[in-house]
Amino acid sequence: MTMTHPSHPAVLLAADAVGDVIEYWGFRKALGRVWAVLYLWDGPLSAGDIGERLQMSAGAVSMALTELQRWAVVKRVWLPGERREFFEAEVDLWKMIAKVISERERYLARGVRERLEQAKRMVEESGGGVKGQREKLEKLVSVAQLAEHVIEAFIQSRMADFSTFTGALSGAGEGSAKARKVRLETGRKR
């Protein structure tokens, strides 16, 4: 076994914190950690570098990078004279969260409302159901409808807040000389 060397403890600590944020929003913790290591490193890193720093297997790194690229929060970078692919963090991690959350919430709200409506219909068809049950189902349905509207409103305001975050992560300090020399390329296939 070759000796691997993990990252500076401070980077690991920060990466883990970002991992927790990401996990809270329903992604795998590993995605947040990988993003954080890329963000904190001043320049592109290869998959191997990331695996070493975070002590993750090649497979896990590959899967994390694929998913992060799918969300467009990590970009592929080609360095002349390098066989390996390199990766860099996009600063708009928050965009990813906002995008997915809104989709997920919409999907959940819709599915819940539909099932409640179906349940209501079933009770009605089977002769009104037990006393009070129909009224209760009607209430649940109306709450679900209400929730759908509230979610739409939330999503709007959330979007605004997330864009604030995005601004805060970019700006001064961006791009080292080394990084600037690089020819950029965004993921294509898939």
- Interface with DNA by CB under 7 A: which residues? 28-30, 46-48, 55-66, 83-85
Q: Which positions from 76 to 115 touch a copy of itself by CB under 8 A, shown as an x/- string?
A: ----------------------------x---x--xx--x
CB of 44 to DNA, least distance (A): 11
- Token pair listed for 37: 């290591």
Q: Which of 59, 80, 81, 132 binds a copy of itself (CB under 8 A)?
A: 132
Q: How far, rounded to the nearest angstrom, does the alpha carbon of residue 85 sit from its chain's CA centroid? A: 22
Using the minimum distance from each CB to DNA, give the nearer residue, 60 or 179.
60
Distance CA 41, CA 55 (A): 16
Q: 3-class DSSP state for residue 2?
A: coil
CB-side neighbour CA atoms (13 Å) of 156: 5
CB of 118 to DNA, least distance (A): 22
Any residues with CB less than 8 A from the CB of 9 and at least 6 apart, and which? Answer: none
Using the minimum distance from each CB to a copy of itself, give the nearer residue, 60 or 123.
123
Helical segments of the chain, H only: 9-24, 29-40, 47-54, 58-70, 93-125, 133-169, 177-180
Binding site for a copy of itself (CB under 8 A): 8-11, 13-14, 16-18, 20-21, 24, 36, 39-42, 104, 108, 111-112, 115-116, 118-120, 122-123, 126, 129-133, 135-137, 139-140, 142-144, 146-147, 150, 154, 157, 161, 164-165, 168-169, 171-173, 176
